[in-house]
């Protein structure tokens, strides 16, 4: 349009205010002569995009109608119509691509949020289980998050945020009240360790409440900006608030905690596979005492256990006899793993589940020292490449054997070792009991491994 009057008369009767139309044209349609740049439009708001599109579509209809009724009396260039059609198509295409990208990002972000939320829950669940073992009123964990935050619906947002702010005060109390004492025995109500323990219990409960709040905000976020903001903000705060859990248990379970932590720095840890192995331990506690062969084990899990046993052997080689006994005692007195929904009978072995691997801490007998039947039964059950878990009061235990498929950790199958005679484990195979790795170490290793998964 060559004159201001022409622009005013053309757009002055549009539903959208004339000043608004002029603003949109200046912002998004920079002109060079009578042509517009065909670069991509980047709209500041959805309202800008919708308003500009409405103006262009109305103008296009206006030009088409004028050309149809003009009968060539008024010369309306086809280029003007084509240019506006191109602009409309370009805006719609860019919007469609943006919508597609947003939806893809939303799905990807939702997947990441779900994965990170599971990590937070796992950390808090493991910390809860470890903490329960230190309580004077120890009881199995009820891993029901809704029950933990049963008063959530009665709290205002302000009250929940206040709980989150209280974490800094809890951290200060923890720092002042804790000290490296012997936490392997249950603390007493009047001890400093008990005060620190109560502080960490409060922190676990508060973290769970904050995690529930985060899930609520994630569900109610409607835009990419909201998703990014809430995710980054809460992930950073949660990560910072969870770190004292690792500091606390680092004191509680030393020297084993630092020993395991150093080991994990030397090898890659695949936590999902280790969690599957921990599920096998759950099946063992459900089934009872015996010797369990885990078949179809992931090579990563097998290599992980071999490495852990190597590190244990190397550690023991640096210690004197008395120090070795103390180190093994620390391993044996780690908290027994608590699995939700399992009420472990007091008659079950007081020892943890012990891991054995052929040619690592278990050696098979020479053929000439065994009867053919016993030798065949031994070599058929104990094979290199599988993992063996023993739950018993001592390694001088009758051979009651079972099998668990690593791919189906919830299923335990009885195995007939030999039909005649009664044999004991430490008589059938040679065990190096000092090269010790237990389900308690596995659980603590998984807990330590979660630390590297937290947002930095």
CA atoms within a 13 Å half-sphere pointing along the CA-CB vector of 106: 15
pLDDT in the model for residue 223: 55
Q: Is the pLDDT score of 149 beyond 60?
A: no
Cβ-contact 204, 131 below 8 angstroms: yes
Conformational region of residue 341, where left means phi above 0, alpha means psi within -120 to 50, and beta covers everything else: left
Residues 87 and 48: beta-carbon distance below 8 Å: no
Question: Does residue 133 contact residue 338 with C-beta atoms inside 8 Å?
Answer: yes
How confident is residue 334, by pLDDT bands cut at 50, 70 and 90? confident
Question: Which pLDDT tens digit goes with each residue over 411-432?
Answer: 899 998 886 667 889 888 999 9
Q: Using the Cα atoms of residue 187, residue 188, residue 189 and residue 195 in order, give the sign of their dihedral.
A: negative
- Please tell me which residue, 276 or 206, carries the higher pLDDT value: 276
Closest C-alpha to 253, from 134, 338, 137: 134
Most confident of 42-51, 69-78, 355-364, 368-377: 355-364
- Between 407 and 138, whose confidence is greater? 407
Residue closest to 24 by CA, chosen among 52, 60, 50, 46? 52
Name which of 25-39, 169-183, 260-274 the model is least confident about: 169-183
Counting residues of the chain whose pLDDT is more than 70, the rounded percentage is 67
pLDDT the model gives residue 70: 67
* Domain extent listing, the chain: 4-76, 114-252, 269-453
Angle CA(139)–CA(144)–CA(148) in degrees, nearest 5?
80
Label the pairing between strands 290-295 and 362-363. unpaired
d(CA 15, CA 7) in angstroms, rounded, equals 15
424 touches 397 (CB < 8 A): yes
Does 246 score more than 80 pLDDT? Answer: yes
DSSP 394-450: SSS-B--EEEEETTSTT-EEEE---SSS--BHHHHSEE-TTS--BHHHHHHHHHHHH
Q: What is the DSSP letter of 451?
A: G
* pLDDT classification of 228: cutoffs 50, 70, 90: low
DSSP E strands, 331-409: 354-356, 362-363, 387-391, 401-405
pLDDT in tens, 94-111: 777 766 666 666 566 556
Q: Provide the CB-side half-sphere exposure for 7 (13 A, CA).
A: 10
**Per-residue pLDDT tens over the stretch 173-207:** 544 443 332 223 333 344 454 456 667 777 777 77
Q: Where are the alpha helices (DSSP H) in 156-191?
A: 157-177
Higher per-residue pLDDT: 249 or 134? 249
Is the distance from CB of 320 to CB of 431 less than 8 angstroms? no
Q: Residue 362 in 3-state DSSP? A: strand
pLDDT in tens, 343-358: 445 556 667 899 999 9
pLDDT in tens, 291-331: 999 999 999 999 999 999 999 999 999 999 999 999 998 88
What are the angstrom distances between the C-alpha of 61 and each of 22, 72, 85? 19, 17, 10
């Amino acid at each position: 349009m060559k004159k201001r009057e022409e622009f005013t008369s053309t757009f002055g009767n549009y539903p959208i205010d004339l000043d608004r139309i002029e603003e949109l044209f200046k912002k998004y349609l920079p002109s060079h002569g009578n042509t517009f740049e065909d670069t991509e439009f980047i709209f500041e708001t959805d309202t800008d995009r919708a308003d500009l599109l409405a103006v262009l579509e109305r103008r296009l209809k206006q030009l088409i109608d004028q050309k149809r009724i003009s009968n060539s009396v008024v010369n309306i260039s086809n280029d003007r119509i084509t240019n506006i059609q191109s602009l409309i198509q370009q805006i719609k295409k860019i919007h469609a691509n943006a919508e597609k990208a947003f939806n893809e990002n939303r799905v990807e972000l939702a997947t990441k949020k779900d994965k990170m939320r599971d990590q937070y829950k796992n950390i808090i669940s493991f910390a809860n289980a470890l903490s329960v073992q230190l309580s004077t009123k120890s009881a199995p964990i009820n891993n029901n998050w809704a029950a933990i935050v049963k008063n959530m619906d009665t709290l205002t947002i302000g009250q929940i945020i206040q709980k989150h702010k209280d974490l800094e005060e809890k951290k200060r109390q923890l720092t002042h009240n804790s000290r490296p004492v012997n936490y392997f025995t249950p603390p007493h109500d009047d001890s400093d360790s008990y005060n620190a323990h109560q502080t960490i219990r409060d922190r676990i409960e508060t973290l769970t409440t904050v995690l529930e709040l985060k899930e609520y905000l994630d569900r109610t976020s409607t835009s990419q900006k909201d998703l990014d903001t809430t995710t980054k903000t809460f992930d950073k705060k949660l990560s910072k608030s969870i770190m004292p859990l690792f500091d606390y248990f680092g004191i509680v379970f030393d020297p084993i905690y630092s020993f395991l932590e150093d080991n994990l720095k030397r090898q890659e840890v695949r936590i999902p596979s280790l969690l599957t192995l921990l599920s096998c331990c759950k099946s063992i506690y459900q089934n009872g005492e015996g010797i369990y062969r885990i078949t179809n084990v992931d090579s990563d899990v097998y290599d992980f256990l071999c490495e852990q046993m190597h590190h244990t052997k190397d550690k023991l080689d640096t210690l004197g006899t008395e120090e070795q006994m103390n180190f093994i005692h620390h391993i044996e007195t780690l908290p027994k793993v608590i699995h939700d929904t399992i009420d472990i009978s007091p008659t079950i072995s007081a020892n943890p589940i012990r891991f054995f691997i052929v040619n690592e801490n278990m050696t098979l007998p020479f053929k000439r020292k065994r009867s053919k039947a016993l030798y065949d039964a031994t070599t058929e059950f104990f094979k290199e490449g599988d993992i063996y878990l023993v739950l018993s009061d001592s390694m001088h235990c009758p051979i009651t054997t079972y099998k668990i498929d690593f791919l189906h950790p919830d299923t335990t199958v009885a195995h007939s070792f030999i039909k005649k005679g009664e044999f004991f484990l430490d008589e059938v195979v040679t065990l190096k009991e000092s090269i010790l790795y237990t389900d308690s170490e596995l659980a603590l290793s998984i807990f330590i491994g979660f630390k590297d998964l937290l947002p930095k």
